[in-house]
Amino acid sequence: MSNTIEKLKASRYYGLVLLGAMLLFFYGVFKILTPSNFGSLSNLYTYLQASIIYSVGGCGLYFIVVMGLFDFAVGANIVLSSIVGVILSQKFGYAGFILGCLGCGTLIGFLIGMLYNSLNVPSMIVTVGLMLIFESVAVFVAGGVKQTLGENLRFFSGAPGNIILALLAFLLMYFILNYTKIGTYCNAIGSNEFTAKNMGINVKKYKLIGFMLLHFFVGIMAILTVSYGTTMTALTGMSTMGRNFQPLMGTFFGVAFRKYKMPITAIVVGEFIIQIIFNGFVALGAPTTIQNVVTGGALLVIVSLTARGGKGSVVK
Amino acid sequence: MSNTVKKDQEPSKLRSFLSSDTFKGLLPFIGLVVIVVVMNILTQGKILTPKRLRLLLSQVYYPMIVATGVFFVMTLGSIDFTEGSTLGLASIVISKLSFTSIPLAILGGILTGAAIGAINGFFHVKFKLQSFIITICTMFLFRGVCAYLTTETAVPASAAIKALDQNWLKITITVAVLLVAWFLFRFTRIGNDVKAVGSGETAARFSGVKTDRVKFLTFVAAGALTGLAAFVNVIKVGSITATAGNQLETQILISLVLGGLPITGGAKVRFSNIIVGTLMYTVLNNGLVMMGFESQTQQLIKGVIFLLFVALTIDRKALKVIK
Amino acid sequence: MENRVLLVAENIDKRFGITHAVDNVSLTINAGEVRGLIGENGSGKSTFSQMLCGIYSIGGGTFTLDGKVLHCRNQVEANNEGVAIIVQEMGTLSGLTVAENIFLGHEEPFMHLGVKDTRAMNKEAQRLLDEYGFGRIKAGNMIDLYNFEDRKLVEIVKATYMKPKILVIDETTTALSQNGRMELYKIMDAIRADGRTVIFISHDLNEVLTHTDTVSVLRDGEYIATVNTRDVTEDDLKRLMVGREIGSAYYRTDYGEPISGEVVLSVRDVSVPGQIDHVSFELHRGEILGFGGLSECGMHEVGKAIFAASWDRTGSVTLADGTEINSIPTAIAHSIAYASKDRDNESVILNESIRNNIVLPSLGDLANHGLLSGKKLTKFAEKHALDMQTKMQNVGQFVSDLSGGNKQKVVLARWLGKGSDILVLDSPTRGIDVKVKQAIYALMADLRRQGKSIIMISEEIPELLGMADRIIIMKDGVLNGEFLRDPALSEEDLIAKMV
């Protein structure tokens, strides 16, 4: 009997059911509390469109987080890459926009990875410093003015453009995780760096690849973000910090559901759940400033459930 | 397998000096002098005028009080990102209570800070979650609460509390905080315990240090000190907006790193890190402003200096695997 | 058995700091041979084989396999040369699927232009698992879903599917149930039948006798002998493993002193899940109580349990006056000291000064109304460090600079400074050179005479025989035998209770 339960728990369907139950639970709670202005089909469609943007970033962060690393420069790079993309789009149209965002994104990832590898300083610290730097670079690049995406370049602003691009990103993620060595090696490095090294894995190289992949996805996220909002303003003063956490929440879902072999589904559904909670509160009449409270609270609950250290482990 | 690392290459003399503890210990002082001299030259001596110095000093008080608390947290090897939102929330509490009674307001501010610290400490210790993740979560949470409380208008403080905006009072509070903290750090077992947890938590536990309690209380104390700093902030600014305390956490982190505090914490921290670091940051900040740099240029320079100092002061031996 | 030489090890050498782990070992192994490699804990057999497999760098000498000199920098390179190992510890990685684990570092056959054919990889992994008879393990599943034994089986597949010329099995059988062992023996037989070679490391001499062709014995890092399995008995092997001079001025020389009847500490029904099971014993005043057994027998956990440092401990540890020891601070306050086997993590704070290491548990006593004086602390630390003859520049020196022996002296100085009456010393002379060892033994004898009680947990049998008034042997988490101090007591007597 207990054996069948164990087996059931091990199957990926158990993970799916778990995710589905969470989704239904939060949807149900808010639907009961405010039946009229929450959770209609068109509402849900809106929540979904917002959530997939974060899911894309969540996918990228997955590579870094499974290795036990961290990146605070994601937000800064979203801003920087989208500004570069918008500026290039003014000359080269869609090609400039897309390649600008993706190219700038990946280049930043390369810089972060190289600097992390050569400085030998925890990733969290390096990326805090780089966040400051990239934020100011973004202001320089933008020339201190608000950058607006041209009217003729709004394919990704709404459905189906945004959904198509996000789906492509998820497919790419699925491909990398399942059909290249990168996914395997990132997991191996995260599990035990010494053993991984011993198995002939070039740890530094794969950490660099991890940062580059993350920021390639950040580039995609930049396309979606600036298309969704149509403008982007570069600001200094750690104003991009907040942009780090929405993708991160999805990533934590992904890591938590890794054992069911469905990180991408978990990231996407997780982000959707967060959107439901946030919009549920708004529907209840809470001001939009509540978003930070929801973000912080939800992240706290998620990490408490998923990222706990074992007994006797030293946690700093 | 550290034993497979090749150790036979002799490092050059300069390199070994650059990585020596003596140099790391001196670096902040050298840095402070260099920055003061450089800024003085670049601003054509304007930074050392009495008027400027007074202004400089007025910017030092509350960051120094906050940095004192964070210093203890970072000595543990942990990190705290909640100072900004704690300062904001505590300032709101103080402002609201200042209409009833000023001592009550101060107490309310300290308790607010301590409560946030307790939440951080609880999650950190009980759930064994990394402090930077926890404090980022709570930072967001309380930033949101601040924004919520200041959605309509800024929160004003009473005239009585604003009347306390006297330099002597602020100096007294700051100096008192530093003295008490220094005393606790040097002459009671608190300092030893906190350092021991930072250098080797497991061994400290096996030597009878109540590691969980030490960690929890350190976070509470850091919160409480930020709450006290909020009082100094309120008497200075008089009304609290949603941006109160914005970025304070980065400012403190950069200050302490500039002051030579190794990010790994432990035995190599010096109490002077707080003072040197806060002064250095303030001089740097003011100098950059006076030289007419735009805010983005200032931030760029700060970011570069921060990374440079981390790379120079970090104790890589204390990190087994660098994550 | 063919008579073709497969592996030649010439003058293999390895030092870890001052410990000479492998001392100039030379041996040859033929193709189609199962070679047992035995020796006591710390005899260098694991280090020797891990150098062969690229896990440790080779300190000196050469391995020549099939006429080719090996220079493996990691396991994958060793695999490619035809050498594979199943390690003592967990060798599989969490967060990866079973198939990914099996082919980690060997993905090339499944890569086409950078694209990994996951289906083919899973299929091949499943085929291998089925072939080995481990079909219930599914190649596509996360390794995290399987227990320790199944993960070991996956490791067996990982190490052997590529048909290595030499397979090293390093104390794997202890992790396996009877069925799992049978599977492993079958694989060993198959490799032999195939004309390839196995190096089989085990503490279970019975197992070694039944499943090997030849046995090589190491002792204290040195090569002792190689014998044909069918020519020897278990006793012969034991003699070869031990064969050391006991006695001399190294250890205590007194015999026949009665143990005091005064009980200072009683341990009742102490269990730690997965480690020790209902352990009960008493410690007497002025007694050195030795604990022996194999590394994984649970004796190290007993030390932690007494000091209340174990997680999820049940049962009671009580002092003579009825005080229950339930937390480390209580243990220390009631005069219990503990020196861990894991000296660098659990005993000393490496990145801290000698002074602060020594004063740490005594801060409460040294404080005057809660106030500490730096001078007083330094004086206190100096006194106790010098009492122990710690080699140092001054007490401000960081412990990370010290040798293993001097680190241990700092630990002992700390507890003697605290004035502890009950000392729990886990592997007190592990990785320590002879001179310091001698000093530590002398100190223990001295403390015993002062009426202090010592629990000495040790993997070194001569140390137990030489120092303890009473020896408890553990096996699989339970007490398995008790001996009183006696010159007639032999290492064989103890070993018989360990394995």
Strands C214-219 and C34-38: parallel
Who among A10, A180, A259 is closest to C116 (CB)?
A: A180
DSSP state of A13: H
Contact criterion met (CB below 8 Å) for B244 and B87: yes
**Containing structural domain, residue A222:** 51-263
- C352–B199 CB contact, under 8 Å: yes
Quote the number of domains for chain A. Answer: 1
Range with lowest mean pLDDT among A90-94, A274-278, C245-249, C432-436 = C245-249
Classify residue C347 by its DSSP letter. I
B105 SS3 class: helix
Query: pLDDT digit string (tens) for A183-218?
Result: 899 999 988 888 888 888 899 999 999 999 999 999
- Looking at the DSSP bridge assignments, the partners of residue C29 are C7
Contacts of B202 in chain A (CB under 8 A): 312, 314
Q: Interior CA angle at A271 toward A269 and A274, to 5°? A: 110
Q: For chain A, give the DSSP string.
A: -HHHHHHHHHSHHHHHHHHHHHHHHHHHHHHHH-SSSS--HHHHHHHHHHHHHHHHHHHHHHHHHHTT---S-HHHHHHHHHHHHHHHHHHHHHHHHHHHHHHHHHHHHHHHHHHHHHHT--HHHHHHHHHHHHHHHHHHHHTTS-EE--GGG-GGGSTTHHHHHHHHHHHHHHHHHHHSHHHHHHHHHHH-HHHHHHTT--HHHHHHHHHHHHHHHHHHHHHHHHHHHSEE----SSTTGGGGHHHHHHHHHHHHTGGGT-HHHHHHHHHHHHHHHHHHHHHTT--TTHHHHHHHHHHHHHHHHH-PPPTT----
At C104-153, the pLDDT tens digits run: 988 888 988 888 888 999 999 999 999 888 888 999 888 888 887 888 88
- Supply angle C-alpha C440, C445, C451, rounded to 5: 125
**Cα–Cα distance, B8 to B18 (Å, whole number):** 19
The pLDDT confidence band at residue B311, using thresholds 50, 70 and 90, is: confident
Specify if A110 maps to a domain: yes
Residue with tokens 């602003």: A157
- How far is it, in rounded angstroms, from Cα A150 to Cα A10? 49
Give the chain B residue nearest C329 (alpha carbons): B208
Residues of A whose CB is below 8 A from C142: 258-261
C299, C293 in Cβ contact below 8 A? yes
Q: How far apart are CA C279 and CA C263, in angstroms?
A: 17
Question: Between B and C, how many residue pairs show a Cβ–Cβ distance under 8 A?
Answer: 90
Q: Where are the domains of chain C?
A: 5-242, 248-498
In the predicted structure, residue C416 carries a pLDDT above the cut 90? yes
Question: Rounded to whole angstroms, how far apart are CA atoms A71 and A214?
Answer: 9
- The pLDDT assigned to B195 comes to 94
Among C349, C427, C443, C430, smallest CA distance to C389 is for C443
What's the token pair of residue A251?
């990533």
Q: Which chains touch B (3 or more CB pairs under 8 A)?
A: A, C
Say whether pLDDT at B9 is over 50.
no
The CA distance from C109 to C102, in Å, is: 13
In this prediction, residue A8 carries a pLDDT of 64
Query: Quick check: ipTM above 0.95?
Result: no
pLDDT value at residue A200: 84
A153 falls within a domain = yes
pLDDT digits (tens, 9 = 90+) for C316-345: 999 999 999 999 999 999 999 999 998 888
Residue B310 to residue A129, Cβ atoms within 8 A: yes
Q: Quick one: tokens of A120?
A: 């030998």
What band does B244 get if pLDDT is binned at 50, 70 and 90?
A: confident
pLDDT digits (tens, 9 = 90+) for B136-185: 889 889 988 998 888 888 899 999 998 998 889 999 999 999 999 999 99
pLDDT cut 90: percent of chain C above it:
46
Give Cα separations from A175 to A55, A65, A184, C117 (angstroms). 16, 18, 12, 11
What counts of helices (H) and strands (E) characterise chain C?
17, 21
Tell me what the pLDDT averaged over chain C comes to.
88
How confident is the model over A175-189, as a mean pLDDT? 91
**Is B206's CB within 8 Å of C353's CB?**
no
Contact present, C456 and C289 (Cβ < 8 Å): yes
* DSSP designation for C353: B
C-beta atoms of A199 and C104 within 8 A: yes
Looking at residue B17, its amino acid is F
* Rounded-to-integer distance, Cα C407 and Cα B320, Å: 19
Contact call for residues C30 and C1 (beta carbons, < 8 A): yes
Residue type, C18: I
Number of Cβ within 10 Å of residue C486's Cβ equals: 12
Amino acid at A166: A
Q: Is A40's Cβ below 8 Å from some Cβ in C?
A: no
User: What are phi and psi for residue C318, nearest 5 degrees?
Assistant: -125, 140
Which residues of B fall within a CB distance of 8 Å from C309?
205-206
List all residues of chain A from 178 to 207 with a beta carbon under 8 Å from chain C. Answer: 178-181, 184, 187-188, 190-192, 195-201
Burial classification of residue C375, based on how many CB atoms lie within 10 Å of its CB (0-12 exposed, 13-18 middle, 19 or more buried): exposed
User: In terms of pLDDT, which residue wins out, C28 or C400?
Assistant: C28
pLDDT in tens, A235-290: 888 888 888 888 998 998 898 888 788 899 999 999 999 899 888 888 888 777 77
User: pLDDT band at residue B318, thresholds of 50, 70 and 90?
Assistant: low
Q: Are C90 and C148 in contact (CB under 8 A)?
A: yes
Kindly provide the b/e burial profile for residues C195-205, where b requires at least 16 CB atoms within 10 angstroms of the residue's own CB: ebbbbbbbbbb
Please tell me which residue of chain C has the smallest CA distance to B194. C360
- Interchain contact, A316 vs B140, CB within 8 Å: no
Are the C-beta atoms of B53 and B106 separated by less than 8 Å?
no
For chain B, the average pLDDT equals 87
> Which H or E run includes C283?
strand C276-284
**Regarding the domain delimited by C5-242, which CATH topology (the fold level of the hierarchy) does it fall under?**
Rossmann fold (3.40.50)
The CATH architecture to which C248-498 belongs is 3-Layer(aba) Sandwich (3.40)
Q: How far is A212 from chain B (nearest CA, A)?
A: 16
> Tokens 């002064």 correspond to what residue?
B279
Query: Residues 229-268, chain A: which have Cβ within 8 Å of B?
Result: 236-238, 242, 245
| Cβ-defined contact of B123 to A300 (cutoff 8 Å) | yes
Tell me if the bond preceding B28 is cis, omega within 30° of 0.
no
E-assigned strands of chain B? 155-156, 239-240
pLDDT of residue B153: 84
Rounded CA-CA distance A74/A54 in Å is 11
CB contact under 8 A, C372 and B206: no
* Beta strands at A231-232 and C83-86: parallel, antiparallel or unpaired: unpaired
Q: Which residue has the tokens 């926890």?
A: B134
Position C246 pLDDT exceeds 60? no
**pLDDT at B315 > cutoff 90:** no
How far is it, in rounded angstroms, from Cα B2 to Cα B320? 9
H helices present in B188-271, as ranges:
189-199, 201-206, 211-237, 248-258
Asked whether the beta carbons of residue A184 and residue C107 sit closer than 8 angstroms, the reply is yes
If you write DSSP's letter for every residue of A148-188 in order, what string do you get? E--GGG-GGGSTTHHHHHHHHHHHHHHHHHHHSHHHHHHHH
Chain C, 359 to 388: residues with Cβ < 8 Å from chain B are 359-361, 363-364, 367, 370-374
- Alpha-carbon span B201 to A103, nearest angstrom: 44
Handedness of CA B227, B232, B234, B240 (dihedral sign): negative
Residue C247: band (very low, low, confident or very high) from pLDDT cuts 50, 70, 90: very low
**B133 in contact with A, Cβ within 8 Å:** yes
pLDDT at residue B1 tops 60: no
Query: Does residue C90 register a pLDDT over 90?
Result: no
Taking CA atoms, what residue in C is nearest to B189? C363
Alpha-carbon gap, residue C3 to A190, rounded angstroms: 45
Confidence of residue B119 (pLDDT cuts 50, 70, 90): very high
* Three-class secondary structure of residue C445 per DSSP: helix
Closest Cβ opposite residue C145 in set A10, A198, A311: A10
Cα distance between the two ends of chain B? 17
Any domain includes A142: yes
Checking if the pLDDT of C91 tops 90, the result is no
Q: Which of B2, B206, B320 to mutate to test the interface with C (most CBs of C within 10 A)?
A: B206
Give, in degrees to the nearest 5, the angle at Cα B10 between B8 and B16. 135
Are C373 and B4 in contact (CB < 8 Å)? Answer: no
Q: What is the DSSP string of C298-343?
A: SHHHHHHHHTT-SSS-EEEEEETT--B--SHHHHHHTTEEEE-SSI
